[in-house]
Amino acid sequence: MKLYILIAGLLFVQFSFAQEAAITATHKIWSLQDCIDYALENNITVKDAALTKSIAEIDYSKAKSSRLPNLFGSASQSFSNGNTIDPITSSYVTDQIHSTNVGINSSMTLFQGNQINNQIAQNKILFDKSVFEAEVAENNIVLNILETYLQTLYSKESIAIAQNNLAASEQEVVRAKSRLDAGTIALSDYTEAQSQAATNKYNVISAKKDYNQYIIALKQLLELSPIEDLEIETINENMDLVNLELNKVDVYQKALGILPEIQSSNLSIEASKKELDIAKGGFLPTLSLSGSLGSGYTSINTNTFSDQFDVNFNQKLGLSLTIPIFNRNQTKSAVQTATINIEKAEIQKLSTEKEVYKKVETAYQNAMSAQEQVVAAEASKVAAEQSYKLAQKKYELGALSTTDLVISQNTFTIAQQNYLQSKYLNILYHQLLQFYQGNDIKL
């Protein structure tokens, strides 16, 4: 009996720990870094880029193997009747012949206009390019996570603002009802208070809907199940402000040196140049080496199977030279196409640099603007809050109409939303400037 009690106790303890672990896992609060790390491991766009990189690596390995000789084995069994040539002795006979042939053969290209070496070099460049493209995909996910995370926090705080306004307006409805019963206000003032409460209730519902939409977007970036709960961590209110001495040209130059899309553009040009070298190799001759080993058996020979295989054993070794004379301008067209592709790759690089400059310029200008806006919005919010509190006291004393109170509350609400928006925009653009300088994104 004691043993049964001990086992039951151990099982209970184990079950309790399992429940606690499940609860802890279910109620995990995700920080920005948690979201970034998880997305880089699980996001399907990142995985797709990684698979593309793996394919490029395989192509590079295959190109290197093209230097090696091939090797094939063959075996055949044939039957012929009547006038025929013996496949083993090459004698012209009139008979039924059973013959067997086996052999191995190999060939390798010794020279092909240096196309093999250039192909290997091009595939190495394309592999390196795929590495940078995978980094581009990761960076895009990181920036999407950052933006969605901040939007989610913004909508979460918007819910709190809307709920506070709803609570305040519901109290004002109660006060308005008391004053209406006392005959100190008109019915229109009471209905206006009710209308404001209804509007604030609608705002709460709308804010919750926006929050849920951002949570869905964040889940999709993280590749989380729709039924899985997701709660994100709030950020430190002590916000870093953009350094006013920061030079956007310096940021742009740093971005050109570190962003993988720039490196990818450079490698696209190099790959196109190698394609031109490969195309030009088509004008040059090709020299190949081949060799084979073989033997066989024929039924018209009286020797045994093993004796014939020994006697008929043969070896061949040969060189083959192919000189291109005219191939319907295929090589010429390939050279012209490769030349154009080089120009296109150079134009694409310029386009990528322009896009990077646009992003840096936009982030810089928005960061400067958001930094000034957050200071002004905070001052406006403080003033609007004081004004609203004063209006509430006047309303309680009957010195202010319901309309004026509603106007004051709406002014305070707008000031809160403006401050909230400028705060998160300031954080977003500050982090973007950090990213373009090669610094880590962190809140």
State the amino acid at position 146 in one-letter form.
L
Is 283 in contact with 71 (CB distance < 8 Å)?
no
Give residue limits of the domains in the chain: 125-284+326-436
pLDDT band at 264 (very low <50, low <70, confident <90, very high): very high
Is 193 in contact with 402 (CB distance < 8 Å)?
yes
Calculate mean pLDDT across residues 246-259: 92
Amino acid 242: pLDDT:
54
Pairing of strands 231-232, 29-30: parallel
d(CA 43, CA 106): 46
Amino acid 266: pLDDT:
97
Kindly report the backbone phi and psi dihedral angles of residue 94, in degrees, each rounded to the nearest multiple of 5, phi listed first. Answer: -120, 95
pLDDT at 28 over 70: yes
pLDDT at 2 over 80: no
Q: What is the 3-state secondary structure (H, E, C) of 368-426?
A: HHHHHHHHHHHHHHHHHHHHHHHHHHHHHCCCCCHHHHHHHHHHHHHHHHHHHHHHHHH
pTM: 0.85
Calculate mean pLDDT across residues 195-211: 96
pLDDT at 111 over 90: yes
d(CA 338, CA 281): 12
Starting at the earlier edge strand, list the strands of the sheet with 70-80: 70-80, 97-112, 286-298, 314-322
Gyration radius from the chain CA atoms: 39
Amino acid 135: pLDDT:
97
| Nearest one of 249, 266, 260 to 348, comparing CA atoms | 266
- Cα atoms found within 13 Å of the Cα of residue 290, Cβ hemisphere only: 10
What would the pLDDT profile of 34-64 be if each residue is shown by its tens digit? 999 999 999 999 999 999 999 999 999 999 9
Amino acid 3: pLDDT:
44
Please count the other Cβ atoms lying within 10 Å of the Cβ belonging to residue 93.
15
Amino acid 6: pLDDT:
45
Is 343 in contact with 275 (CB distance < 8 Å)?
no
Helix (H) or strand (E) holding 78: strand 70-80
Is 127 in contact with 328 (CB distance < 8 Å)?
no
Share of the chain above pLDDT 70, in %: 91
Amino acid 222: pLDDT:
96
d(CA 138, CA 132): 10
Calculate mean pLDDT across residues 268-296: 96
pLDDT band at 184 (very low <50, low <70, confident <90, very high): confident
pLDDT at 316 over 80: yes
Q: Average pLDDT, whole number, for the chain?
A: 89
State the amino acid at position 400 in one-letter form.
L
- C-alpha torsion angle, residues 43, 44, 48, 49 (rounded to 10): -30
Residue 260, by phi and psi: left (phi above 0), alpha (psi -120 to 50) or beta? alpha
Please count the other Cβ atoms lying within 10 Å of the Cβ belonging to residue 219.
17
Q: Is the CATH code 1.20.1600.10 the one for domain 125-284+326-436?
A: yes
Amino acid 27: pLDDT:
67
Q: Which residue did the predictor score with more confidence, 230 or 244? A: 230
pLDDT at 69 over 90: yes
User: Which of 11-15, 79-83, 186-190, 411-415 has the lowest average pLDDT?
Assistant: 11-15
| Nearest one of 260, 231, 240 to 138, comparing CA atoms | 260
d(CA 202, CA 194): 12
Calculate mean pLDDT across residues 311-324: 94
Calculate mean pLDDT across residues 334-362: 97
pLDDT at 254 over 60: yes
Round to the nearest angstrom and report the end-to-end CA distance of the chain: 57
pLDDT band at 78 (very low <50, low <70, confident <90, very high): confident
| Packed helices 187-222 and 402-436: angle between N→C axes, nearest 10 degrees | 20
pLDDT band at 258 (very low <50, low <70, confident <90, very high): very high
Amino acid 11: pLDDT:
46
Amino acid 118: pLDDT:
97
Is 83 in contact with 94 (CB distance < 8 Å)?
yes
d(CA 339, CA 421): 50
What would the pLDDT profile of 123-176 be if each residue is shown by its tens digit? 999 999 999 999 999 999 999 999 999 999 999 999 999 999 999 999 999 988
| Packed helices 402-436 and 115-182: angle between N→C axes, nearest 10 degrees | 160
